[in-house]
Amino acid sequence: FCIPTEYTMHIERKECAYCLTINTTICAGYCMTRDVNGKLFLPKYALSQDVCTYRDFMYMTAEIPGCPRHVTPYFSYPVAISCKCGNVILT
């Protein structure tokens, strides 16, 4: 059940007057995986685990209010459109 999930984040810059709350989507959920017996005998590239990650996403940009002229008021963040279970190599 690796799917886009609603997520609320708070962003701020110490130079700006306000904190901004953004509602977005992130990838979250369960991916089928298993633990391999005999990890000590396998090379590191053989040790992997599926994790929930982005398949398609886009970036949105928000403007933080109350910033002085010398501070860039823009903040970009990813929005999950679709998700997948992807393979990650364990170290």
CA distances (Å), origin 78, targets 42, 45, 56, 60? 36, 29, 10, 6
User: Whole-model pTM?
Assistant: 0.71
Domain boundaries, the chain: 2-33+44-86
- What superfamily in CATH does domain 2-33+44-86 come from? Cystine-knot cytokines (2.10.90.10)
pLDDT tens per residue across span 52-68? 999 999 999 999 999 99
Side chain identity at residue 35, one-letter code: D
Q: Per-residue confidence at 25, pLDDT binned at 50, 70, 90?
A: very high
